[in-house]
Amino acid sequence: MTRSQGEAAETVEPLTHETAAQTLKQVCQRTGLDSTGAELVRIGENAVFRLREPVIVRIARTSRYADAAAKEVRVARWLESAGYPATRALDVEQPIVVDGRVATVWESVSEHEEYGDIGQVATLIRDLHRLDPPETLELPELDPFVRADTRLAKVRGVSDDDLAFLHEGLADARRKWNELEFVLPRGPVHGDASIGNVIRASDGHAVLIDLDGFATGPREWDLIQTAMYYDRFGWHTREEYETFVGIYGYDLLEWPGYHDLAAIREVLMTIWLSQKAGDDARSAAEVHNRVDDMRTGASRRDWAPY
């Protein structure tokens, strides 16, 4: 990333529907696409738009994500060459940096966002973990905490007590991570593998999306969310989880490090959500609820998915 991109990232406005739509227009002008009638699918780590033509545009919060976006495109090219069912990057020069943000453009696999089933999730993760990336890809080492400090530094709409708890929780998560003894072979990981990043295409087959977290690391990281969604949150049924384990071939709940890894993921999920608290009262309330549950050891069954 250039110095000018870094300076722009310091002054860029918060990522909202309105600011993202302004960036979208410029991205489309540069790539020959049409932003008229674009649909905002969601705002999370990125603002995701679906155009009237079969194209998805992802806009990151600042240009500081440029390196990750470039890696995401390289990963997509590799997976396409390997015949792996993942989102395909359009054949244009990208990523695109405008307005102090970075954007990427992708083929849309369906007119409506429909998640795959748990069997498709398990199959995609299993098959991904069997792939050997080319030496030229140079995947980074997995760092679960890569943006956590930056997010906490910019949090708005969270009480001082809750923010202090998140800082303490992050420090404890780092300690736990360094003490974990992983047992599965290391290799390429998606970094945010769950049913929320598996989309069913119009013809029924499933594809893996959101490739910006790709790294090399312990495969347990790609299994933890599905295990937590069943065991802690109740978002998957027992039958669904058993299907996942049967297809993937390993039950993370049997691993001694499961509870510590789940605790790490809970803290990071909540820190990620906290960046939306200043602009969304529902997200702010959810952050407080999660912090209260983690502080008191209460059930997580009332956590809302985001």
Buried (b) or exposed (e) across 237-249, using 16+ Cβ within 10 A?
eeebbebbbebbe
Alpha carbons 63 and 104: distance in angstroms, whole number:
12
Q: What is the DSSP letter of 105?
A: E
pLDDT score for 8: 45
pLDDT score for 3: 45
Q: Tally Cβ neighbours within 10 Å of residue 177.
A: 18
pLDDT score for 4: 45
pLDDT score for 7: 42
Both tokens of 85, joined, read 């069912």
| Placement of tokens 């969304």 in the chain | 280
Alpha carbons 180 and 14: distance in angstroms, whole number:
36
Q: Tally Cβ neighbours within 10 Å of residue 48.
A: 20
Which residues is 56 bridged to in the sheet? 50, 106
Largest CA distance in the chain: 53
CB 269 within 8 A of CB 194: no
Q: What is the pLDDT of residues 131-175, one digit of tens each?
A: 999 989 999 999 999 999 999 998 999 999 999 999 999 999 999
Alpha carbons 131 and 129: distance in angstroms, whole number:
6
pTM: 0.89
What is the distance of C-alpha 39 from the center of its chain? 20
Q: What is the DSSP string of 1-39?
A: --HHHHHHHHHPPP--HHHHHHHHHHHHHHHT---TT-E
Which residues is 141 bridged to in the sheet? 216
Spans of the chain below 70 pLDDT: 1-10
pLDDT score for 99: 85
First to last CA, the chain: 30
CB 103 within 8 A of CB 46: no
Both tokens of 34, joined, read 């049409």
**Strand, helix or coil for residue 82:** coil
